[in-house]
Every structure is written in C-alpha cells, then in structure tokens.
Amino acid sequence: MLRDGMTLADLAVRIDAQVVGDDTLVVRRVGSLEHARSDAVAFLGQARLRAAAGTTEAAAVIVAPADVDTTTRTRLVHENPYAAFARCVALLHPSPPVVPGIDASARVEATAAVDPSASVGPFAVVGARARIGARAVVAAHSFLGDDAALGDDARLGPHVTLYHGCSVGARTVVHAGAVIGADGFGMAEADGRWIKIPQVGRAIVGADCEIGANTTIDRGAIDDTVIEDDVKLDNQIQVGHNCRIGAHSAIAGCTGIAGSAIIGRNVRIGGAAMIAGHISIPDGTVIAGATTVLSSIREPGVYNSSPPLLPLREWRHVSVAQRRLRQLVERVTALEARLGTTSRGEDA
C-alpha cells in the first residue's frame, strides 16, 4: 500500500476516469462496498450491489456512466469499472519491490546467467545454462532446470518447478507449486505392457501470463507445448503435451486439457471443463463450467454440455427418462414410419 496515499484527482488521471465530487480526497487502499473504510476506493460492478453503493463508507466509488446517481459519495466514472478497479489495486497495493541478490542457501550452477537485479530465494536451485532476466524473482525452494529461462520481471512463487529447456516469458507470474515442463502422458502398448515415450519437446509460456497454484503444463512429446502471451490459467489446471493455448485466453480452475488440443485466442473456459485431446476450439469461443468437449468446435459461440441444477427428486425423474431415451426414440421412429411422417412431423 502506498504510505502517503493518492488524491482522487491523481488517481483518476492514472486510471483514465472522470471525477464527480471532491477530487481532493486522499485514498490509501481499496475495499468492498460493504466493508470499505473512509480512505478506500470501492467499485460497483453488479446491479444487485446498487443499494450497497448508496450506503458505503468508501471515500469514492468507481461506477459506470449509467450508475453515476446510485451514490452521493465521490464517483470515479469509467466505462469499465472492474478494469478501472484492477488498476486501482495495482496502484494502491503495489507488489513488494524486488530485492536483488542470491540467497546464500540457493544453489546456482556456475554456467547459469542471473541478472544482477534478479532475486533468487532460499534453497532455490538454478541449473546449468539457465537464464534469469532483469528484476525476475525465484522464490524459496523453486527449481529451474538446465537451459531453462525466466524472462524480465517474471516471478516464480515458492516450490515452482520449471523443467529443463522450458521457458517463462517477461512479466509472467507463476504461483506456488506449479509445474511447467514435466513429461507428458506418452505411452505405447506392446505385449500387454506400456512403453514410455520420451518427451523431447519443451513447454513455452509467453509474456504477461498468469499460471495458478498447482497447475501443470506438460512438455511436448516432439513439438513444444505453447502458452501464448496474456493467457490466464487458474489453479489446478492440467495442460497436456503438445497443446497450444492462444493469446488472451482465460481458463478457470480444475479444467483438464488433454494432449494436442488447440485452443484459439480470446477463448474463455469455465471451471472443471474437460477438453479432449487432438481437437480444436476456435477464437472467441466460450465454454461453460463443467462442460465436456469431445470433438472440435467449428464455429465460435457459447457452449454448454452440463445439465442444469435440479432438486434431487426431479433429477431422479429426469435420469429415469434419459435411461429410456433410446427406447422412446425407436418407438417414435416406428410410429412415424406407420403414419408416413418424417422425424420433423412433416409429410413423407
């Protein structure tokens, strides 16, 4: 948090917002509408919170132009209140500055290249010929394998593993426990046994990405696994070998993506979705949470395969009907044949 805070006039300039009210007020933090202090900035992002905007104790509220009259507090008016609020958080609660240096307990191979402005934390391991860029951070107990690369201003959280030959781009943040570049699940069957296929590709993560805690990105079997720039992956996601995820895509937690899936740019995937291998999803597609995608999607759009929530008793009735669905289809087909109609109810 900024020690001396910032006037709303200065803050508005930084986030490109218009002030309605007292722009001399000083703010030092962000807060929710319900619990903000008198030196905080809150934001109104959903219609259901309009009442809270009218009673908030916050010094200022970020609102869309249509909501400018929902509160008498000073308003910061912006077309995208959520994005403006994100910029406020970064300004009022900046990340701790990087303290350059290599901890005495870290093990860094002599052939590794660590920028003098980078930070390597306690018990970290940096392999031969690995490269760590300017102002990058390697937190405690993290591991960079031989020939791995970490870009400028990138951050590896505690216990992150970046396997040999793999790379993470500039300004990317990798949270605790993530594994980038472990072997993909490549096996060949012979004589009733499994033969491991050595995974000789790499895992390449672009710039400005975020990789959630305990997410795993497998290295390629032959070609590389590629995560393009500005991709946001939530916690506990599995990305199989040889996948490609296009720039600006966002994927929520517990999603599983099987090998060789190609996901386009600006794709959004809800939590716990299951994406089969060797398929493609076009740019701009939205996949709802818990959806199973078993074949390629040809046209961008919004897709959902998960059933809606039902009371248990009603769900049981629906499940019984689903078990009889094939029988019912056969009976309807037979009836149509007898009546001389098509499946659309039209004359044959």
Tell me whether residue 162 is in a domain.
yes
124 and 241 inside one domain:
yes
In a domain, 118, yes or no: yes
CA–CA–CA angle 228, 230, 231 (5° rounding) = 70
Quick one: pLDDT at residue 345?
47
Give, to the nearest 10 degrees, the angle between helix 312-323 and helix 325-339. 50
Please check whether residue 124 lies inside any domain of the structure: yes
Based on the fold, state whether residues 299 and 165 are members of the same structural domain.
yes
Please indicate, yes or no, whether residues 79 and 176 belong to a single structural domain of this protein: no
> Is 176 found in the same domain as 203?
yes
Whether 342 shows a pLDDT value over 90: the answer reads no
163 and 254 both lie in a single domain: yes
* pLDDT score for 4: 73
Six-digit token string for 217: 């990105």
pLDDT digits (tens, 9 = 90+) for 218-272: 999 999 999 999 999 999 999 999 999 999 999 999 999 999 999 999 999 999 9
pLDDT of residue 215: 98
Please identify which residue in the block is written with the tokens 């500005």. 230
Taking the C-alpha atoms of residue 348 and residue 335, their distance in angstroms, rounded to an integer, is 13
- Distance, in Å, from the CA atom of 244 to the CA atom of 225, rounded to the nearest integer, reads 6
CATH code of the domain in which 134 resides: 2.160.10.10
Domain that residue 219 falls in: 101-303
169 class by beta-carbon count within 10 Å (0-12 exposed, 13-18 middle, 19+ buried): buried
- Per the document, the length of the chain is 348
Q: Which of 241, 248, 278, 317 is catalytic?
A: 241
Helix/strand/coil (H, E, C) string of 50-62? HHHHHHCCCCEEE
Contacts of 153 (CB under 8 A, 6+ apart): 133, 134, 135, 136, 170, 171
Percent helix, strand, coil in the chain, to 5, is: 15, 30, 55
Domain endpoint, select from 49, 65, 92:
92
Which of 85-99, 119-133, 210-224, 334-348 is predicted with the least confidence, judged by mean pLDDT? 334-348
**Same domain, yes or no, for 183 and 71?**
no
Q: How far apart are CA 225 and CA 202, in angstroms?
A: 6
Calpha distance 301→315 (Å, rounded): 28
In the chain, what is the straight-line distance between the N-terminal and C-terminal CA atoms, in Å?
A: 74
**Final residue belonging to a domain, choices 92, 125, 155:** 92
H helix or E strand, kind and range, residue 92: helix 81-92
Q: Is the domain of 346 the same as that of 293?
A: no
My answer on whether 120 and 55 are in the same domain is no
**Residues near 70 by beta carbon (within 8 Å), at least 6 away in sequence:** 44, 50, 53, 54, 61, 63
Please state the domain count of the chain.
Answer: 3
- Catalytic residue flag (residue 241): yes
Look at the block and give the residue holding tokens 């599995």.
238
What is the side-by-side strand order in the sheet with 40-43? 18-20, 74-77, 60-63, 40-43, 29-30
Which run of H or of E encompasses 270? none
Q: 256 in a domain, yes or no?
A: yes
Q: Give the residue from 92, 124, 157 where a domain finishes.
A: 92
Residues 131 and 237 in one domain: yes
Q: Is residue 1 part of a domain?
A: no
What pLDDT is attached to residue 307?
A: 86
pLDDT in tens, 7-22: 999 999 999 999 999 9
Q: Is residue 325 part of a domain?
A: yes
DSSP string, 288-348: -TT-EE-S---S-SEE--SPPP--HHHHHHHHHHHHTHHHHHHHHHHHHHHHTB-TTS-B-
pLDDT tens, 22-53? Answer: 999 999 999 999 999 999 999 999 989 999 99
Q: Are residues 146 and 295 in the same domain?
A: yes
Looking at the fold, whether 276 and 326 belong to one and the same domain comes out as no
Q: Is the pLDDT of residue 343 over 90?
A: no
Average per-residue pLDDT in the chain?
95
| 292 and 145 inside one domain | yes
**From CA 326, how far away is CA 309, in angstroms rounded?**
23
Q: How far is CA 315 from the centre of its chain?
A: 32
Domain CATH number, residue 88: 3.40.1390.10
For residue 341, the model assigns a pLDDT of 74
- Host H or E run for residue 273: none
DSSP states along 223-248: SPEEE-TT-EE-TT-EE-TT-EE-TT
Residue 227 domain-assigned (yes or no): yes
Closest CA to 305 of 325, 337, 275: 275
